[in-house]
Structure 1
Amino acid sequence: MVIQRLKLGLTIFASKMAIIGQDIAQAKSFLEKGELVAIPTETVYGLAGNALNASAVALIFETKNRPSFDPLIIHTSSLERVGDFVESIPKPLYQLAQTFWPGPLTLLLPRKSLIPDLVTSGMERVAVRVPQHPLTQKLLAALDFPLAAPSANPFGYISPTTAKHVEAQLGAKIPYILDGGSCEVGLESTIVGMEGDHVIVYRLGGLDVAEIEEVVGSVSIKSHSSSNPQAPGLLESHYAPRKPFILGDLDSLVPHYKAQNVEFAVLSLSREIEQVKPEHQIQLSEKGDLKEAAQGLFASMRKLDELDVELILAEEMPAQGLGNAINDRLKRAAAKG
């Protein structure tokens, strides 16, 4: 096997595609050696490395081509183990963890000194979550360290929701992909922290804000774009296909580009566009179900991106429930360039 050696003293597997399997022991072995493994979660697939090993964390950034000012989420197997990595958990956030972990919730908490600066981009809080996927739960329980794991894709591109998505993008750069099937939620986790006594949602995601407010009362939303983000996944241009992605009113966009003889594809919630070939359009949910739409969002964007078209047109979802999180991803995809 030909491998590319890095100054970090670690390796990127450059000539042989990653093994795809469900062998927890094999995945554990690679991670203990400081290598990277793609892991399934209920949200998206993650590119995982030992969160306490600065060299392994640096390899995550290098493999993804991710800017070092964009912090990472660390993953562990239970709420009880979170205390090993953070100084404290404020009561409202502890209530959220008790209610929604394991699940698509990430908490921003004051970190202990053993968390490398590279994980948090030098900030005093670390993003932590307990994922729900049974395979990754077993892997995390078998490890004596947490896993730093951003989405397993080149930085800024569409997040992967199957092992094959990971293989297509990073399969030549990592040794192992833990195959857990298709992701059930399909959107990244909701990120929550506190500022003073106030609970703040920093990133909309797979856990609806309304469910959070049922536990802790009213919250503030600060899910804004930033070139110096306080939490992962907040850069303006993110989750983007390779082709130009245009978000707006399909009733105006479709005839506009038809008149210009531009080949395009269409992404909608449930409507079928008569002027567009069936194979050039995807309805995220024929029933208008936002949960179903969220589950299929990234896979649908990826499928349209692979078509022989010049650009992709999309409409916003209803601004309710998971529709707000889907719209957040659509707007970031459209911000590219």
Structure 2
Amino acid sequence: MVTKVIKIDLNNIDEKKLLSAAEALKEGKIVAFPTETVYGLGANALDSSAVEQIFKAKGRPSDNPLIVHIADKEKVCELAESIPEKAAVLMDRLWPGPLTLVFKKSSIIPRIITAGLDTVAVRMPEHPVARELIRLAAVPVAAPSANVSGRPSTTTARHVLQDLDGKIEIVVDAGSSRVGLESTVLDITVDPPVLLRPGGVTPAQIEDIIGHIEIDKTILGKVSMDNIPKCPGMKYKHYAPKAQVTLVKGKDIIRQVEKICELAVDRRSKGKRVGICATDQTISYYKDYESKSMGDRNRPETIASSIFSLLREFDDMGVDVILAEAVDENGVGLAIMNRMIKAAGYDIIQAD
């Protein structure tokens, strides 16, 4: 199969170009497309055979549920058994956007979407190309991130092709994803609601609207492999480059730097090629190493938008080990640390 690339200008979205991708979705084929979070790998959510192709292309475990994407809020009534009041308020205030809500599923949702659970995760993306594609296809679209399972998520069409060229029908290319991390996932079937996965919408933003929410304990820790997760990104090793990632945590930034340099010397002595994930505030300390800045510690959104791309850049360089600085877990930092901890396979060293 030759993967077709459809380039779309965000400033002038050509509906005619998108029609072929929408027709492919209608016909039960899979299509990669941009969202504001990451690129998604989409299929008709109501077609089990089409959705099965997503799992095959990605090499994704069958007990890892998918998120269903819609182009208008009214579609939720068809996908969910009911819409709790808090969900309705969040939909009104934060949709479209990088927030996924977990509802009790309706009978039309295939079992393959939910991994056999009685819940379904639904999101209305903010990205205009994503919404237009879903609108033209006239079906809800199941879409995990468009990468090989376990690898860093894709934030450009080039990343998608690195992983899936020849395995999928079409890639819609509309440039880089703005947020750079997958959506926030909130389980709204319980009260108080539970944050299952942090993302571009922070816990504080949600609590400002609906009050107290709980934080799932697996966000910064391990989940039992015996459980079926309610949303993607909870159970398996995720977001990992080919190189081994070690995350260095510490309250003192300089101590973090010193520990990373110490580890870099040790890994080099063992014949390993080392890459260092620094920040704008610390990059100058690593002049003797192959280092790249993730972004500004004081503006964590800059780190969020670059982290997956950076991990892929280190793979392109051929490093064996990536030593990464941890960041504060406040706001978007919680989502960044969630992804970095899982990318490291929980290999964390305390600098203090």
Structure-1-length-normalised TM-score: 0.91
Percent sequence identity over aligned pairs = 36
Aligned-residue offset at 1:51:
0.4
Question: Is 2:166 the partner of 1:163?
Answer: no
8 Å CA contact 2:21–2:170 kept in 1: the answer is yes
Alignment correspondent of 1:20: 6
Aligned-partner SS, 1:198: coil
User: Take 2:288 and 2:33, find their aligned partners in 1: how far apart are those partners?
Assistant: 36
State the one-letter code of the partner of 2:117.
M
State the one-letter code of the partner of 1:230.
K
8 Å CA contact 1:203–1:223 kept in 2: the answer is no
Alignment correspondent of 1:230: 230
Question: Is 2:240 the partner of 1:254?
Answer: no
User: Take 1:312 and 1:241, find their aligned partners in 2: how far apart are those partners?
Assistant: 9
Alignment correspondent of 1:106: 100
User: Take 2:193 and 2:32, find their aligned partners in 1: how far apart are those partners?
Assistant: 32
Alignment correspondent of 2:310: 300
Count of matched residue positions in the alignment of Structure 1 and Structure 2 = 322
State the one-letter code of the partner of 2:113.
V
Alignment correspondent of 2:252: none
Question: Is 2:217 the partner of 1:217?
Answer: no
8 Å CA contact 1:201–1:223 kept in 2: the answer is no
Aligned-residue offset at 1:233:
1.5
Aligned-residue offset at 1:229:
1.0
User: Take 1:332 and 1:170, find their aligned partners in 2: how far apart are those partners?
Assistant: 22
User: Take 2:41 and 2:57, find their aligned partners in 1: how far apart are those partners?
Assistant: 9
Of 265, 272, 285, 2:283 maps to 272
State the one-letter code of the partner of 1:300.
L
8 Å CA contact 2:296–2:303 kept in 1: the answer is no
Q: Structure 1: which 5+ runs fail to align?
A: 1-12
Alignment correspondent of 2:293: 283
> Equivalences for 1:92-241 in 2 at 5 Å?
92-194=86-188, 196-222=190-216, 224=218, 225-226=222-223, 227=225, 228-241=228-241
8 Å CA contact 2:155–2:176 kept in 1: the answer is yes
Aligned-residue offset at 1:197:
2.4
User: Take 2:292 and 2:88, find their aligned partners in 1: how far apart are those partners?
Assistant: 40
User: Take 1:336 and 1:177, find their aligned partners in 2: how far apart are those partners?
Assistant: 32
Alignment correspondent of 1:317: 327
Aligned-residue offset at 1:32:
1.2
User: Take 1:167 and 1:69, find their aligned partners in 2: how far apart are those partners?
Assistant: 25
State the one-letter code of the partner of 2:159.
H
RMSD of aligned residue pairs (Cα, Å)? 1.7
Distance change >3 Å, CA 274–CA 44, structure 1 → 2: same
User: Take 1:336 and 1:326, find their aligned partners in 2: how far apart are those partners?
Assistant: 14
8 Å CA contact 1:20–1:163 kept in 2: the answer is no
8 Å CA contact 1:49–1:60 kept in 2: the answer is yes
User: Take 1:328 and 1:307, find their aligned partners in 2: how far apart are those partners?
Assistant: 25
Deviations along 1:149-191, whole A, 9 cap, x unmatched?
0000000100000011111111211121111211010010000
8 Å CA contact 1:237–1:336 kept in 2: the answer is no
8 Å CA contact 1:38–1:166 kept in 2: the answer is yes
User: More displaced, 312-321 or 251-260?
Assistant: 251-260
Structure-2-length-normalised TM-score: 0.88
Distance change >3 Å, CA 286–CA 194, structure 1 → 2: closer
Aligned-residue offset at 1:275:
4.3
Aligned-partner SS, 1:317: coil
